[in-house]
Copies of this chain bind each other. A is one copy, B any other.
């Protein structure tokens, strides 16, 4: 009996999944989505009063959600001074990418070493699903496609899912969230013009043929490239 593994929800909420959880959990999901999508910009003050109006709930659920988010690193909390959306900066982005590469390199190597048939099949499947969805919701101008975002996250998680450590998986997911936020902030400026499908396919193939060196090097390049695009499309974020 594998101990309760919750970990990992989706990037921009399961939109509409008004799942029968508690109000606090619902608010948590929505707030998380609003932060990751950039709808609540970095550094934004999060006043209880305003949030109560925005999400139409009482005091307690808001506060619970904020406390969870602060432990997730999406919100900063200062005793007696309330909450704000975590700030964003060039330096933080670099630190984030670096850490992500370190951790995912380990996770991917372990996954390739330990992954069984089920893992392989899950990987192939999640790639297939990702390949059948458009990057953007509309044709001419870019609009976030929540479905693509969800499947993209699922694919990357599938890569690492056999690493054998729920801790590591959770950390990778957390860093994924952070990176997604930067991606969304950058997207406002630059239409994503890269076709990532080839890169994903190459990773999938390297992983399923158990070529760890190749897979890791592809994954690192993938992240470096993404970081590069974000870097160049951003002068500086709002901070503090």
Which residues of A are interface residues toward B (Cβ below 8 A)?
Answer: 1, 3-4, 20-22, 24-25, 60, 63-64, 67-68, 70-73, 76, 78-80, 87, 89, 92, 95-96, 98-99, 102-103, 106, 164-168, 170-171, 175, 239-240
> Once the chains bind, are A79 and B165 in contact (CB under 8 Å)?
no
Known interface pairs A71-B71, A106-B102; A87-B168 also in contact (CB < 8 Å): no
- Separation of A76 and B20 alpha carbons in the complex (Å): 18
Contact of A167 among B1, B70, B87, B99 (CB under 8 A): B99
> Once the chains bind, are A22 and B98 in contact (CB under 8 Å)?
no
- Separation of A96 and B168 alpha carbons in the complex (Å): 9
Contact of A72 among B3, B71, B92, B165 (CB under 8 A): B71
- Separation of A136 and B156 alpha carbons in the complex (Å): 47
- Separation of A89 and B2 alpha carbons in the complex (Å): 11
